[in-house]
Structure 1
Amino acid sequence: MNDRLTAAQASRSTAVKATLDYPVIDTDVHVNDYTPALEEYVQQYGGGELVDALRKVLGSRFNTRSNGKDWYQQTLAERRYNRTLRSPWWARVTRNTLDLATYTLPALLAERLAEQGADYSVLFPNDVLAPLGAGRHRQALHRAINHYHADQYSKYSDRLTPVAGIPLHTPEEGIEELEFAVKTLGLKVINIAGGVKRPIPSVADKYPAADHPEVAKYAHYTDFYGIDSEYDYDPFWAKVVELGVPVTTHYGSQGWTGRHSISNYMYNHIGHFADGSQAFAKALFFGGVTRRFPGLRVALLEGGADWGAHVFTHLLDRWDKRNREAVHNYNPANADLELLENLFQRYGKDLIKDRTLDKSTLLLDSLGVSALPHSRDPNEDEIDDFALAGIESPEDIKTRWVDSFYFGSESDDRTVASAFNAKLNPLNAKINAIWSSDIGHWDVPDLTEPLAESWDLVEQGVITAADFKALVFDNPYRFYTEANPQFFKGTAIEQKLSSSHTK
């Protein structure tokens, strides 16, 4: 029988924890909601209609339907015909029933935190963002669910804190729910989707969603709140900074082109959090959000940290070649036509043969139509892709990428080594990797293993002991306290740090 562990049955992680002289902060724990209790809160906010809306959105969250049938009801031919996405399945812990109960019962989770090896954990209830699909019920459901989570975990606030789910279809609704979550409920971390799907106006005008729902289902773009956004989200980011709230996201890309297998969940899954978060983070960077709000701190979870290092490297590489001065190396107007003609006459006889060399078309003839396809050259204010980000030097890129973003790395992710490799990363930078156990999901069948798995990377020489400390304490601590210096006031982290300072 999979029953309660006794205190004597120490885990590998408790053994690792016993050797550490600093706290451990888990930035990503997934918990379940006990449905009858949750629905009571929802009932109080909106009666039976809101409960029905909750059930509908939860029941359809990962059910990809076409013609009224989900993936499992369709034949292979129907899946091909409809291009029905194979969505996640069997995604939560069940065989390990002790862990199943732990993720559902706040008292048990608080009690078992020591077995996991963590001193403090930030909780992401699995359905915290489910209301995003609830249409006009979106805000009411968010408010009810956030209220439920705040009450469920308030007793354990010294060790556990749940995130608040914040809708961002408009900045106004985001601000409204942010202020309620922080000022009324006392929540101090938010979780947002990294983007909002919006209709393409030219298509929606021709095929209104009410008359053509199938067209509306596919003809959309994603607004990532930064560059090219339909709304000005600066008031929302300003409110986030004003209230001292760290921002987190688990933004994925399953269903995007290239991640839309109709048969294989793993094909759709591998790398999808990194791709989704990359789109969101780049929108904030290129849209100048991290320039205008240097105090904004954003954690991009479940995608690892290696992509953060990858993008940082390529931002620098591309800025070096395509900043507003360097890009003129590729301006056709800067070609020396006299030199080009002379070189053709000297070296191009085999190509010219009996043709007449026309200097007026020689550039086009050399580059080809594909290189000069536009109706006009870009104007001066259209050539600097880094203008909104305000990049004047490589150090600006470091400040607005490395300092602003933190990257959730799971315990068995060996690629985290790239985050700490200052020789590999430009400007001797280290990327802000933060320990994100992801317990509660299928990739962690035993909650007592993740800390030990991360320490295994030290013993295997993948990362150093100093890197491990940065991963499980230094970087998470900095993430939360840079946003809110009082974040850990009254918690086990404050107590442990105070105790260690007095020794």
Structure 2
Amino acid sequence: MSKYSRLSTSPSAALKAKLDYPVIDTDIHTNDFTPDFEDYIANYGGSKLVDELRKAEFGRLNPKSEGKDWYQQTPEERQYHRTLRSPWWARVTKNTLDLATYTLPSLLAERLAEQGSDYSVLFPNNVLAAAGASNENRQALQRAINHYHADLYRKYSDRLTPVAGILLNDPKEAIEELEFAVNTLGLKVINIPGGVKRPIKAIADKYPADKYPEIARYASYIDFYGIDSEYDYDPFWAKVVELGVPIATHYGSQGWTGRSSISNYMNNHIGHFADGSEAFAKALFFGGVTKRFPQLRVALLEGGADWGAHVYIHLVDRFLKRNLEGLKNYDPTEANADELLDIFEKYGQELTKGRSFTKEELLQTVLGSSFLRHSRSPIGDELEDFGKAGIEKIEDIRDQWVDNFYFGSESDDRTIATAFNDKANPLGVKINAIYSSDVGHWDVPDLTQPLAESWSLVEEGVITEADFKAYVFSNPYKFYTQANANFFKGTQIEAKLNKYQPAPVAVKPAAQKVAVGV
């Protein structure tokens, strides 16, 4: 045993020894060792690709910085430029062993037992770094990054697998990179941004980005792919399903309205993954993506699972009030003008004060701006917010929200109880919460603790033992294998499941009856 082993003192390893099922961690963050990483990128695409990587990384960490990072700016400059206070001190440092573990693949593979996991999906810190690259270099840089991670972790594929970063700026480009990542590199999970920023054409046409870069920076919207997109992403979703690839995203909303403090990181951080992922997931739902591709499996990580239950509940509530039949309660043409006039004549003299109204004038006055602001009433598809999703009954919402989406919850997230509350969730369902330890980030100062920390929720009665098993094994296993039945073939999960299967009971042959006498 290595002198660095903490196996004998790990509370998570001690707990794991008592479980009769494997543990799957859907979210470990690793750090690329910059000299080796940049050498690989240079060998792949030359020094220009390394320069592109560095520029993209600086832009990601210092949005709206005017060439200076937050710490180089004075308070007045931060105020003037509205420079976002971005994450700081985001890595574990005091625990030097863990700091090294997230950078050294062999050490991580060796220490996985200390973490209490049998299999982990890895999200290297540079996996989507190409998102900030120029259009002409973006695809080449993303391919080089995926190739590097595939080569780096291939020898540990029985217990570790890195995600492939797939950018969705253009569906055709995304399909090319998806096929290369899966068919050539052998990667099994993809990580995508939950949205891509695009220019508002009405402004961009008037103020071209090359002449007015400052305007272009702000005159944008976020394309969430599923609804209102200028692009058709169905070919991409179809290819994902065809290749059997589960999708993951860590999509956040720092910098959005209400999350744009120039001084306080926590103000921008708390809840931002849930908000960003919610916007992405609702776009897929309302755009009918989960209806057209029921086999699509999407993990929304780091935001917890309670928001998944929250949105599901409100989807059902809103549909029950605003389905096509329910909308008749709010249709202005359904109002009885004769009855309204009669009621006002009996009870409205205090307000009308002798004014005379035709029944049409009175109706328009009572309805007010909610009626008058429209040049016409919505018609056809304009009436059906749930139309593209094809929702006809609340069971459809269950099938297209609960079945498609999985929600990454960290070990200290007590709100997971909401996901498993089948008394509150419509139709008695439990939301698919999945174990996402998030080790490698500041919220996990010791990798030996998360699994045991999650078990404390059972001890405190927050969740049941059955919920815990679903959280750390059944739901993650379902997520990956529903997308790809062979996902765990040749891994420790396959070996552990075989180990845990009870041996078949030997059945003695029935005794032959011997005829006695004739």
2:117 maps to 1:123? no
2:98 maps to 1:91? no
Is contact 1:65-1:71 (8 Å) kept? no
Deviation at 1:287, TM superposition (A): 0.4
Larger Rg: 2
Match of 1:163 in 2: 163
Deviation at 1:381, TM superposition (A): 2.4
2:138 maps to 1:138? yes
Name which of structure 1's ranges 380-389 and 264-273 shifts more when overlaid on structure 2. Answer: 380-389
Whole-Å separation in 2 of the counterparts to 1:246 and 1:66: 36
Whole-Å separation in 2 of the counterparts to 1:58 and 1:93: 20
Deviation at 1:218, TM superposition (A): 0.5
Q: Map residues 2-17 of structure 1 onto 2, 5 A cutoff.
A: 4-6=3-5, 9-17=8-16
Name which of structure 1's ranges 403-412 and 72-81 shifts more when overlaid on structure 2. Answer: 72-81
Aligned length: 501
Whole-Å separation in 2 of the counterparts to 1:367 and 1:5: 73
Name which of structure 1's ranges 91-100 and 178-187 shifts more when overlaid on structure 2. Answer: 91-100
Is contact 1:406-1:434 (8 Å) kept? yes
Tell me the amino acid that sits aligned with residue 315 of structure 1.
L
Whole-Å separation in 1 of the counterparts to 2:359 and 2:41: 75
Whole-Å separation in 1 of the counterparts to 2:224 and 2:252: 12
Match of 2:374 in 1: 374
Is contact 1:92-1:442 (8 Å) kept? yes
Deviation at 1:7, TM superposition (A): 5.5
**Once the two structures are aligned, what percentage of the paired residues are identical?**
71
SS of 1:44 mapped into structure 2: helix
Whole-Å separation in 2 of the counterparts to 1:193 and 1:171: 13
Is contact 1:4-1:98 (8 Å) kept? no
Is contact 1:297-1:404 (8 Å) kept? yes
Whole-Å separation in 2 of the counterparts to 1:22 and 1:438: 21
SS of 1:473 mapped into structure 2: helix
Whole-Å separation in 1 of the counterparts to 2:178 and 2:375: 46
Whole-Å separation in 2 of the counterparts to 1:379 and 1:124: 46
Tell me the amino acid that sits aligned with residue 444 of structure 1.
V
Q: Map residues 12-411 of structure 1 onto 2, 5 A cutoff.
A: 12-135=11-134, 136-411=136-411
Deviation at 1:370, TM superposition (A): 4.2
Is contact 2:332-2:371 (8 Å) kept? no
Q: Deviations over 1:130-180 (max 9, x none)?
A: 111101211111111111111111111000000000011011010000000
Whole-Å separation in 2 of the counterparts to 1:51 and 1:83: 29
Q: Deviations over 1:341-390 (max 9, x none)?
A: 11111111211222113312111211222443011111122100111100
Whole-Å separation in 2 of the counterparts to 1:461 and 1:63: 43
Structure 1 stretches of at least 4 aligned residues deviating more than 6 Å after TM superposition: none
Deviation at 1:18, TM superposition (A): 1.1
Is contact 2:455-2:468 (8 Å) kept? yes
Is contact 1:437-1:450 (8 Å) kept? yes
2:455 maps to 1:452? no
Is contact 2:7-2:13 (8 Å) kept? no
Name which of structure 1's ranges 354-363 and 271-280 shifts more when overlaid on structure 2. Answer: 354-363
Tell me the amino acid that sits aligned with residue 399 of structure 1.
D
Is contact 2:26-2:436 (8 Å) kept? yes
Whole-Å separation in 2 of the counterparts to 1:242 and 1:500: 31
SS of 1:197 mapped into structure 2: strand
Normalising by structure 1, what TM-score? 0.98
Deviation at 1:82, TM superposition (A): 1.6
Whole-Å separation in 2 of the counterparts to 1:451 and 1:369: 55
Is contact 1:164-1:187 (8 Å) kept? yes
Whole-Å separation in 2 of the counterparts to 1:264 and 1:375: 44
Match of 2:510 in 1: none
Tell me the amino acid that sits aligned with residue 105 of structure 2.
P
Tell me the amino acid that sits aligned with residue 414 of structure 1.
R
Q: Deviations over 1:240-289 (max 9, x none)?
A: 00000000000000001111011100000000000000000001000000
Is contact 2:5-2:111 (8 Å) kept? no
Whole-Å separation in 1 of the counterparts to 2:108 and 2:414: 27
Deviation at 1:4, TM superposition (A): 5.0
Q: Deviations over 1:62-111 (max 9, x none)?
A: 11344332221222222222211111111111111100110000000000
SS of 1:216 mapped into structure 2: helix
Q: Map residues 418-433 of structure 1 onto 2, 5 A cutoff.
A: 418-433=418-433
SS of 2:123 mapped into structure 1: strand
Deviation at 1:37, TM superposition (A): 1.4
Normalising by structure 2, what TM-score? 0.95
Q: 1:248 to 1:340 in 2, by over 3 A?
A: same
Tell me the amino acid that sits aligned with residue 266 of structure 1.
M
